[in-house]
Structure 1
């Protein structure tokens, strides 16, 4: 029986992490004052202690620490498989290792003062930590691990927010500079005390005189804390391997089956079986990229909780679609992942050579998704990126399989070039073949996402052939092979013409004639384009797939 709902557990974990992150940030900023002087560090510590050493601050801090650690162990216990992306693994490893690095520091700053009645101050702590390389290294490592754990947790939470891209560079800069300044302040403060020691032959009146106390008691407390944390972590791993009830089978469309214990989510089942499964947000229910269509076994399984229901409602998912990271079936199910892992990135383009800034006759293809802005307004950001990558992948494969190369992607559009390694006639034929493949690819995408989109994806393609300058254009690492000239501009305007006529393709007669293709079944227009004095004979094709039969090239004109 679940005492605390999954949604509430996530909130406790998030809030407690935010409290600890605030404490760590303030503590590290206090360390950085060592770049000024130890006195500045002490002045900052007194302000810091007003908040965090008060009774409310102490309860808040250690309550958050205990809650965060318990939620982390609970999450580890509930995680049915330890197969996970590297960032998630690092976050867990950093978090579990922190207590063992911080226990010595906590006992020295919180418990020892209770035994001695002497408040821990920066001069005393700096002398103790600087006295041996072991102490210095352990404290520096703890500082870096604590900050890394906090940054990873914050990144997992922030990366799906719409405002994150605007502040991403600033946040990354803060993430890098804070630990650097904290370490520099620590080293600078300790070295300044070291100079005082050398000048006076000892710390003199700055030396610390501590009342007698039971050193063994402090060591016993420290050992008990080590043993307690080790026991909690070890106990969690032991509980993980104990039987948790029956086993279920999750079947996939390619015939593979994941047999797992009750309590596994479908995403965890996929990972446990080594089956690739998309999960852009890391399995936290903040996107819908892991969603599956349950084709058998949905009846009798638990319904979606609040977090999953919110996401499914937002994307308008039907009743048989569930988030794989949240759906924990209680009996056998058969699922079909809606988004496949091959869609995460775009295949590498062909190596583009022979483009050293010279003129070539090429065929150019511009394509653009129509009305995609309105579609994206009703999609989660992760889903929009995923859908665009599916589209870009389809266009890239269509172009490359036809013999062309992708010059660039612009928004939801693409520019492709044909003829870098082939004759002009072949380039025109290849571009028409690519248009056919793109048309069929859009149809396939619409079938794949049927039920996921309010309206089908529509494409507009503009194509023209002629001379262009091919070369490496740009600056520094932003340099890339591209084409410039009137041919490219004309193809772009023809793509707009296709939209005006509610057609998939607008292609110049120059390209069609050079390819040796007969287009008499389609509409022909003589159009005026901005920047061109003469009209341009253009063919308007409602469905680019219709020209597939005509792609049996006849002898090209001389």
Structure 2
């Protein structure tokens, strides 16, 4: 079995990063115990050291640290341009600064312990660190930089995954609270020992000669500095040979061999969509190779897996993974000017993401006939009252009106909540619309030749959320199979002369029991299989179902 170097690098980078993240998590939790007392911190440190001072723990920690740093240098060397989104710059900057901030702490604890067997504890270190403002500041800065670097790495890794939006709030809370509690614990412990600094002789007892530790510290600083400077110098040494990349608008870029197409776009300031940041995890940066296809380097296993997932043809490659060795011509498949997602240039980050939402389509039936029977002013007036009613029903239920299309409305639920709550919100909105349409009929009974009637379709599932459109007409919306299915269900509601056609999937997400509810297997064009659907003649009946699911006191709606 042939190993893909790119895939091996990514795996090593991820595994080493997760191990370092686990170390930070436990280390910061230990610091947070200072909010209780210094003896509690010491007891926590003993438990903490059971693993991290064990030979296997030591190998895992320092092996991961070495692998992570070497891979960072290798990535910096391979990166053909330093123009990148600010979050990537921040992550790399923090990663390079972190070793320098930690050298002093590591030599005073781990290296001293390895040389002398003396295990410096909180009673040793807190007075020294808290007693000198410069040490206090540098230790706090190291803590924050280490955590920020780890959080950015985790964010880049998790962001493209479908389950990330459901976990985002919990992860953000953890990312904010843990360093805050750690800093507070560090401060509380330092303040409690600050009034009784130990004597120098007590502090030095059993320790390695300070002069030797200083020499080790200087040597580590020098090695780190030389390695980074060496990589930066190596980057500016011209590589042998250049290749030309031609874009559809006629622009031709001449770049060194080794540039990826995405890096070439960034270096030239050409907007190029790349949701995952150029890691080969999404397919938004893909390009169609129009010339030079026979001279391309082979596809890596990781790139092949992504391309096969979207069933891309042979002439399509990922711009972030394609490093041409000969002249080529390319055309981005997802054009920057009309992609519908926020474009990632060198200065900004993309905004497209997948999220599980509930979708509602609502259409006013027989509107064409109604508009023929009223003056234009009256038609607009009545239509606005209808839109006002639907908009209030959706927003009061927790949803968002996405578009008004003719006499129809497209609404989304779940942009800030989970799929279960989003489904309940959609059912509540449908019930409110059913009540609202009857109130409109009563209010304008004298002006309507026939009463307002609505047809609604609802479905819940994954959808792509992003800015879609052109120029000033672009707006945040959703696309995908879930949206298409909801739109088609609205049409089935009309066919069945009902107010609502709702998928059984949405009802299950909402927690509504379907034991006594008849369902219809509906075939939707362009979708494999059938979609189990409930036909609701009177959507007001949904209010009872929603009230049964919700806990007492939650969003109970009183009817006049």
TM-score range, shorter chain: 0.5 to 0.7
Q: Confirm or deny: 8 A CA contact 1:34 1:40 kept in the other structure.
A: yes
Closer, same or farther: CA 204–220 of 1 in aligned 2, 3 Å: closer
1:309 paired with 2:304, answer yes
What is the match of residue 67 of structure 1? Answer: 67
Q: How does 1:477-556 map to 2 (within 5 A)?
A: 486=437, 490=453, 492=455, 499-500=491-492
Closer, same or farther: CA 502–276 of 1 in aligned 2, 3 Å: farther
Closer, same or farther: CA 78–280 of 1 in aligned 2, 3 Å: same
Moved more, 34-43 or 3-12: 3-12
What is the match of residue 26 of structure 2? Answer: 26
- Report the secondary structure of 1:283's partner residue: coil
What is the match of residue 337 of structure 1? Answer: 332
Deviation readout 1:497-523 (Å, 9 max, x if unpaired)? 9845999xxxxxxxxxxxxxxxxxxxx
- Report the secondary structure of 1:286's partner residue: coil
Q: Normalized against structure 2, the TM-score is what?
A: 0.65
1:78 & 1:121 partners in 2: Cα distance?
A: 41
Closer, same or farther: CA 490–286 of 1 in aligned 2, 3 Å: farther
Q: Which has the larger radius of gyration?
A: 1
What is the match of residue 425 of structure 1? Answer: 376
2:133 & 2:145 partners in 1: Cα distance?
A: 18
What is the match of residue 397 of structure 1? Answer: none
RMSD over equivalenced CA pairs, Å:
3.9
Closer, same or farther: CA 470–337 of 1 in aligned 2, 3 Å: same
Q: Confirm or deny: 8 A CA contact 2:360 2:456 kept in the other structure.
A: no
Closer, same or farther: CA 415–179 of 1 in aligned 2, 3 Å: farther
1:214 & 1:499 partners in 2: Cα distance?
A: 82
Q: Confirm or deny: 8 A CA contact 1:9 1:71 kept in the other structure.
A: yes
Q: How does 1:156-171 map to 2 (within 5 A)?
A: 156-171=156-171
What is the match of residue 46 of structure 1? Answer: 46
Q: Confirm or deny: 8 A CA contact 1:262 1:330 kept in the other structure.
A: yes
Moved more, 86-95 or 481-490: 481-490
Q: CA deviation at 1:491?
A: 5.8
Closer, same or farther: CA 231–490 of 1 in aligned 2, 3 Å: farther
Q: CA deviation at 1:219?
A: 1.3
Gaps of 5+ in 2: 343-350, 368-373, 410-432, 442-451, 458-486, 496-535, 540-560
Q: CA deviation at 1:57?
A: 1.5
Q: CA deviation at 1:159?
A: 1.3
Q: CA deviation at 1:249?
A: 1.1
What is the match of residue 10 of structure 2? Answer: 10
Closer, same or farther: CA 109–427 of 1 in aligned 2, 3 Å: farther
What is the match of residue 211 of structure 2? Answer: 216
2:139 & 2:53 partners in 1: Cα distance?
A: 21
Q: Confirm or deny: 8 A CA contact 2:275 2:352 kept in the other structure.
A: no
What is the match of residue 37 of structure 1? Answer: 37
2:378 & 2:151 partners in 1: Cα distance?
A: 50
1:479 & 1:297 partners in 2: Cα distance?
A: 47
What is the match of residue 386 of structure 2? Answer: 468
2:220 & 2:118 partners in 1: Cα distance?
A: 22
Q: Confirm or deny: 8 A CA contact 2:262 2:278 kept in the other structure.
A: yes
Alignment partner of 1:411 out of 354, 359, 367: 359
Q: CA deviation at 1:217?
A: 2.0
Alignment partner of 2:288 out of 286, 293, 299: 293
Deviation readout 1:17-51 (Å, 9 max, x if unpaired)? 11111111111111111111111111111111111
Q: CA deviation at 1:414?
A: 8.9
Q: Confirm or deny: 8 A CA contact 1:287 1:383 kept in the other structure.
A: no
Q: CA deviation at 1:162?
A: 2.3
Deviation readout 1:398-438 (Å, 9 max, x if unpaired)? xxxxxxxxxxx97386999x9xxxx9738979xxxxxxxxx
1:118 paired with 2:118, answer yes
Closer, same or farther: CA 476–230 of 1 in aligned 2, 3 Å: farther
What is the match of residue 467 of structure 2? Answer: none
Closer, same or farther: CA 269–479 of 1 in aligned 2, 3 Å: closer
1:95 paired with 2:95, answer yes
Closer, same or farther: CA 188–277 of 1 in aligned 2, 3 Å: same
Q: Confirm or deny: 8 A CA contact 1:116 1:210 kept in the other structure.
A: no
Q: CA deviation at 1:326?
A: 0.6
1:424 & 1:180 partners in 2: Cα distance?
A: 64
What is the match of residue 418 of structure 2? Answer: none
What is the match of residue 221 of structure 2? Answer: 226
Gaps of 5+ in 1: 348-381, 389-408, 430-463, 504-528, 533-558
